[in-house]
């Protein structure tokens, strides 16, 4: 119950900001509706989903709902995910923070799984002209998970032909299995590692 109240408090804060500022300039909403079918002897399924993205000044709320029907087992599953966060530039500094959660509902068994508070992602971007630093960390609140999942810290130089980046990445075994939480490193691997990454724009 306490966690639900925290989410409601965050949404209330977003609403207060929307009412306090110039709404036409401050508030934007967008969405995507999608669906697909996968055919297979034991893996045939149909999925339909809806994404809703709400931006209120420096705050954002992303909601996703998906329905999946598996033909082989005749099972229906509803998946819900959300991300609420804040990102605002202050000169060359852009701090940000995002809270995410997810829940799945099996229609036949009426069972809920997931965690409304699964990950907290603090970020800090520093950019000056053609150079900058990106700091990213993924902290997990899920049961059975370590708190520190990944840390991705890198510096970059952006030239006319492309971008050169060098960084440090830490990831534990759970982050490697989930394959998430490294926005700038080219590939995730367990433990500590350093990387150099080059890209050419054309």
Rg of the chain in Å (alpha carbons): 20
pLDDT of 14 reads 54
What is the reported pTM?
A: 0.74
Q: 3-class secondary structure for 84-121?
A: EEEECCECCEEEEEEEEEEEEEECCCCEEEEEEEEEEE
pLDDT by residue for the chain (202 residues), tens only, comes to 445 445 544 555 555 455 444 445 578 999 999 998 988 766 688 999 999 999 998 999 999 999 999 888 889 999 999 999 999 999 999 999 999 999 999 999 999 988 888 899 999 999 999 999 999 999 998 888 888 899 999 999 999 889 999 999 999 988 888 887 788 988 888 999 999 999 998 7
Q: Are 123 and 135 in contact (CB under 8 A)?
A: yes
Domain ranges of the chain: 1-122, 129-202
CA distances from 107 to 3, 70, 78, 142, 188 (A): 24, 12, 7, 23, 35
Alpha helices in 145-196 (DSSP H): 173-178
Q: What does DSSP say about strands 111-128 and 27-38: parallel, antiparallel, or unpaired?
A: unpaired
pLDDT of 180 reads 78
pLDDT of 163 reads 94
pLDDT of 1 reads 45
Q: What does DSSP say about strands 45-56 and 162-171: parallel, antiparallel, or unpaired?
A: unpaired
pLDDT of 11 reads 54
Length of the chain, in residues = 202
Place of tokens 């520190």: 148
pLDDT of 42 reads 61
């Amino acid at each position: 119950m306490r966690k639900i109240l925290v989410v409601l408090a965050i949404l209330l804060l977003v609403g207060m900001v929307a009412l306090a500022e110039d709404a036409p300039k401050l508030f934007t909403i967008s969405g995507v509706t999608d669906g697909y079918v996968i055919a297979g002897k034991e893996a045939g399924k149909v999925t339909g989903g809806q994404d809703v993205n709400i931006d209120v000044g420096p705050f954002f709320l992303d909601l996703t709902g998906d329905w999946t029907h598996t033909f082989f087992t005749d099972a229906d599953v509803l998946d819900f995910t959300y991300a609420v966060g804040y990102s605002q530039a202050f000169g060359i500094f852009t701090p940000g923070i995002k809270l995410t959660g997810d829940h799945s509902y099996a229609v036949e068994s009426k069972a809920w799984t997931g965690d409304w508070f699964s990950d907290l992602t603090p970020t800090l971007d520093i950019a000056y002209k053609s150079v900058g630093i990106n700091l990213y960390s993924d902290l997990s609140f899920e049961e059975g998970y370590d708190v520190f999942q990944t840390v991705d810290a890198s510096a970059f130089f952006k030239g006319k032909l492309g971008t050169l980046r060098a960084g440090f990445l830490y990831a534990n075994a759970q982050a490697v299995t989930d394959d998430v939480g490294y926005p700038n490193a080219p590939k995730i691997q367990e433990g500590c590692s350093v990387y150099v990454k080059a890209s050419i724009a054309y």
